[in-house]
Amino acid sequence: MRILPAIDIIDGKCVRLSKGDYNTKKIYNESPLEVAKAFEDHGIQHLHLVDLDGAKSKHIVNYKVLETLALKTSLQIDFGGGLKSDSDLNIAFESGASQITGGSIAVKSPEIFISWIKTYGAEKIILGADVKGIHIATNGWIETSDQTLFEFVKHYQSNGIEYVICTDISKDGTLEGPAFELYKNILAETEVKLIASGGISKFEELPKLQELGCEGIIIGKAIYENRISLKQLEKFILG
């Protein structure tokens, strides 16, 4: 199971929100590079980088941060937030993203998102399924669509998607534990490579998600609040 620590960016700084609410912003580090290097030093190979300014403004904003992290670390970076056009996507890949995550674009412009899967291949494109109740949320979770999670994921699975990040918004940034039941149901009803996100609070949850069959796990606040140490993650990765 891949471990993907999260770095969320506002104004070029490393922050965390609670339940996607921009008013709950807490700055953890002025230097995303410093944070990324600490991850790399502990054997972590992957990073989930989110452009929160981009998510809000509906176009890529913090691509220079992506470029810096890609050039100065060996981390494989999954980048999301504000990718709404072919131009945004090109900028993300040219700036060093290994994979990109599309959420709002997959809801609002499915033809564009499907063309990305066909052009770049399923290894490069991740479907972002951010869920509020049973419905998919968009634009930095400010809006909720009328699409339900399972119809959304199954539709894209039939169009070639393999990787899906599912975030239960009610859990995100709360340190209350992940949505085990939700992930169990997704894995039972689809054949996607599921990346769990939201609510991770302690190390013991990682092996449970691995047992469920998750392909990856995104960890944010639990690292920044020292609930899970980088040493623990290093040991987990080394097996």
Q: Catalytic pick from 51, 53, 130, 172?
A: 130
Q: What is the pTM of this model?
A: 0.95
pLDDT the model gives residue 239? 85
**Domains along the sequence of the chain with CATH:** 2-238 (3.20.20.70)
Q: Catalytic pick from 8, 51, 78, 168?
A: 8
Rounded to whole angstroms, how far apart are CA atoms 48 and 216? 11
Amino acid at 169: I
pLDDT the model gives residue 140? 63
Run means of pLDDT, 10 residues per run, the chain, 239 residues: 97 92 93 98 98 92 98 98 96 98 94 98 97 85 87 97 95 92 96 97 98 98 96 96
pLDDT the model gives residue 133? 87
Rounded to whole angstroms, how far apart are CA atoms 51 and 10? 7
78 is catalytic: no
8 is catalytic: yes
Using alpha carbons only, what angle is made at residue 20 by residues 110 and 206, rounded to the nearest 5 degrees? 90
Cα 179 to Cα 92, 116, 196: the distances in Å are 30, 29, 8
